[in-house]
Structure 1
């Protein structure tokens, strides 16, 4: 069943107070929009893409065409007007192992060789040695280096701990431009994966100069069996059809919503299965081991992003509640519904299917450019 879009749910109770950036298709193709005071403004005649709006700082809604109240447009993920993922040409980056609990889970995946049945024993051994102490370690410090030596001596060192407490953050490319799915669309897991989970995260929108302009919610769908067998399978574990979703709109920074609100955000997760299984989890951004601005800095330290990028900040959530067999933890089933919510960013809702069964991604860069040209939106601005 297609979920019904309600801005008070998808964007939260502050949806009329916040300033929001996204994309919709009114029937002729994708258009960037700004939502201010609850009114949607089509910005396609100002700049044809979200990337250009952000890069050139064209975020004044009064220059666009007001097309109605967001609550009355009748947006849906598969109808007209259609709600799309809020980004287009931006590169999709992700920071991994940024929370102590998720770091331990990545180590467990590796030491268990991707076998969920072996994870319990590994988890007990690792938690006995490290426990919550990892959360207090500042990455790149002498204390972190001393812990590394101790864990190596006990045979518990992992490449995941290297990026958790070492000087360099893990930053990888999660998905291709234009391949992300939006609110209400199905997210996909590989059909040959037997151990996987959602990753509820706050996602930053960053312009080409490295300035963060806003934030949204995201699901960095992860295959624990693939990545656990080998970190060299990260590409297969992370980048698959429909394996990356983003919130309905990006909330733009202003006087009432800033990076400090990201730093203090709480993110709630709920998974509901057709089998009656329910799992609740939470992620608190104040427990992140690297500041969001440091993660942005490391992403751009020796790379340029002329169309800007979005950056997933990682998650504290690590699902261990058994679903079927004792000791085997959680894995998705087709038909699950994933809800990711944060009070000031709203709620991202996605049903779960396989990457093979999800709608194929066919609308890429070439298709978008051709569409914009046919609509007369590529002429040079004056």
Structure 2
């Protein structure tokens, strides 16, 4: 990706000197949590894991001062995904446009060539109505009845306007990749796209402590063929990217900033292809904290969890042949950006060709034990 000369300012939030940021870097010793305060970066490996750090927040170890964050060598110590033991969850179909696109996938049976013929009619007939109702409301129930009567109902519309949000597990613990890493799509997928999102980061009590950027890489052909293929569509090697940092909530950055965030997307291909789009969180159908509540309603996450909030972005522009829509090519560079959260940039490859995920929970525990970082007081 040509990142050797990249300066931290290129991926930090625009107001980084005022931001409280938590992340992870790869060091010679092993994965290391870092905390950025007042523009300075601190090694807080005494907390052992980001999960422990956030479960004890706002208390945190003083840490070892690594100097100004803008001078730190992230090429020598690359950024990892800014979470570790947290479960990675995702909410789907939380925007009206994405709801309509999921219905299109379903009706096209994952065939991109059929999608455009369905799109114009369905978006005109359903899209405006979905935007006008609150999920789970009486008005939503009336719309559901009307759509059923017209033969337009879908399981995707159920989670778009019904009382229950779609919440699923996106990726195993420690499998997410960070800024600068490769992201993977299945080698047997012919219709896929990035999903630029804001992800909330929560502790074991369900407190939303901050937010980060995410790319919920999606296979439209697999999920379109059958919703039962969601696992194959969503969870593959290197198919989940998070970063660059978790920005923690404080007086200068709150959940209201998440509710109004704009997420920009740029895709630049090796074939000189360029696509730009954006997702505006103020268009979301369900409040982000309601999504957190639903994720926690009958589950526990002792190490906390990350929750992708969904995306407005669904690329429909033809990339190659007319009527074929958009799909990734190996070598695409995907840039997800939001002023208050920074930039998450990754290059696309296949899940088979991406570096294999080999460092699991057992490896992390052995590494921390070898560094003398595990004790009964680790989380204090």
Fold in common (TM above 0.5): yes
- Residue 338 of structure 1 corresponds to 334
1:315-330 correspondence to structure 2 within 5 Å: 315-330=311-326
Are the aligned partners of 2:8 and 2:71 in contact in 1 as well (CA < 8 Å)?
Answer: no
Is residue 2:234 matched to residue 1:238? yes
Is residue 2:17 matched to residue 1:16? yes
1:245-260 correspondence to structure 2 within 5 Å: 245-260=241-256
Cα deviation for residue 59 of structure 1 reads 4.5
1:20-169 correspondence to structure 2 within 5 Å: 20-45=21-46, 47-57=47-57, 59-60=59-60, 63-76=62-75, 80-169=76-165
Q: Partners of 1:59 and 1:26 in 2: how far apart? A: 24
1:275-314 correspondence to structure 2 within 5 Å: 275-314=271-310
SS at match of 2:18: coil
Cα deviation for residue 42 of structure 1 reads 0.8
- Residue 194 of structure 1 corresponds to 190
What do the CA deviations read for 1:93-131 (whole angstroms, capped 9, x no partner)? 000000000000000000100000110111122123123
1:251-270 correspondence to structure 2 within 5 Å: 251-270=247-266
Cα deviation for residue 316 of structure 1 reads 0.3
Q: Partners of 1:267 and 1:136 in 2: how far apart? A: 23
What do the CA deviations read for 1:283-338 (whole angstroms, capped 9, x no partner)? 11001000000000000000000000000000000100100011111000000000
What do the CA deviations read for 1:339-382 (whole angstroms, capped 9, x no partner)? 11111111110010000000000000000000001111112328
SS at match of 1:34: strand
Unaligned runs of 5+ in 2: none
Are the aligned partners of 1:195 and 1:332 in contact in 2 as well (CA < 8 Å)?
Answer: yes
Larger mean CA deviation between 80-89 and 183-192 belongs to 80-89
Are the aligned partners of 1:19 and 1:34 in contact in 2 as well (CA < 8 Å)?
Answer: yes
Q: Partners of 1:132 and 1:324 in 2: how far apart? A: 30
SS at match of 1:94: strand
Q: Partners of 1:99 and 1:265 in 2: how far apart? A: 14
Are the aligned partners of 2:97 and 2:127 in contact in 1 as well (CA < 8 Å)?
Answer: no
Unaligned runs of 5+ in 1: none
SS at match of 1:304: coil
SS at match of 2:16: coil
Cα deviation for residue 14 of structure 1 reads 0.8
Cα deviation for residue 132 of structure 1 reads 2.2
Cα deviation for residue 39 of structure 1 reads 1.1
Are the aligned partners of 1:7 and 1:15 in contact in 2 as well (CA < 8 Å)?
Answer: no
SS at match of 1:254: coil
Q: Partners of 1:115 and 1:59 in 2: how far apart? A: 51
Are the aligned partners of 2:197 and 2:310 in contact in 1 as well (CA < 8 Å)?
Answer: yes
TM normalised by structure 1 equals 0.96
SS at match of 2:45: coil
Q: Partners of 1:265 and 1:305 in 2: how far apart? A: 26
Are the aligned partners of 1:40 and 1:66 in contact in 2 as well (CA < 8 Å)?
Answer: yes
Larger mean CA deviation between 51-60 and 231-240 belongs to 51-60
Which of structure 1's runs of 4+ aligned residues deviate more than 6 A?
none
